[in-house]
A = this chain, B = another copy of it.
Amino acid sequence: MTDIQIIAFDADDTLWVNEPFFLETENAFCDMLEDFLPYHSISRELLTIEIKNLKHYGYGVKGYILSMIEAAITITDRRIGVETIERILALGKQMLDKDIELIDGVEDVLEALHGKYRLVMATKGDLLDQERKLNKSGLAKYFHHIEIVSEKQEPEYRKLVKHLDIQPEQFLMVGNSLKSDILPVLNIGGHGFHVPFHTTWEHEKVEAHIEHDNFRQLTSIREVLDYIN
């Protein structure tokens, strides 16, 4: 591990709490539509529409709001009024304006690594949204820059490593998603430290038991310092 030059951190649910806010919003959304369908069916319909729309909208809150609007219209067979759409727009702006809740240990780890490694934030959200969160979080000073990727798959990580002018084995990714943050990085020859978050988005779930020299399974982000310091 002595070769590592750049450590990339996933943002949502790795540095700060995110998924619970989506769930909170989803609950409010289900409340609005409960006259039309039971909760679990609304959730399922919304997820279907979100995934169908990823190719149009990508990841992030704005695409999520658009999918909620589409889902509300579809689920109710157009029987809602535009007041409901207004409430969804308001829910979306609330999400975008949320305060940041750092995950325990994050700041200590960044402070310890800062200056020894080049730290970047690597995320597939909206740049504006992620920049705002980074500024609000007080963590901006630890990061060299933000890398926004449209997908977290092997081609994008290859491009990222090339763009950072390093070799894959000099790259470490720390994140909560095995599918997005860890597996593709291991596959291109990088290092991956997995720090699970208690809630993981359905679409990000993979079942995996990983045995790999460049892989570490952690239970808290603090344990990054057990391997890298």
A interface with B by C-beta (< 8 Å): 56-59, 62-63, 65-66, 69-70, 73, 78, 80-83, 85-86, 89, 92-93, 96-97, 126-129, 131, 144-145, 148-150, 159, 163
Contact = CB atoms under 8 A, between A and B. Distances in A.
Given A82-B80, A144-B163, A159-B145, A89 B62 contact: no
A163 B164 CA distance: 10
A62 B73 contact: no
Most B-side CB within 10 Å, residue of A63, A78, A127: A127
13 contacts: A56-B93, A58-B129, A62-B66, A65-B66, A66-B92, A73-B82, A73-B85, A78-B82, A78-B86, A85-B85, A126-B126, A144-B163, A145-B163
Contacts of A69: 69, 85, 89
Contacts of A163: 144-145
A82 B129 CA distance: 28
Contacts of A70: 86, 89
Contact of A128 (B81, B82, B96, B150): B150
A128 B62 contact: no
A66 B81 contact: no
Given A81-B81, A127-B150, A148-B148, 4 more contacts: A73-B82, A127-B127, A128-B150, A144-B163
A142 to B, nearest CB: 15
A145 to B, nearest CB: 5
Contacts of A83: 78
A6 to B, nearest CB: 13
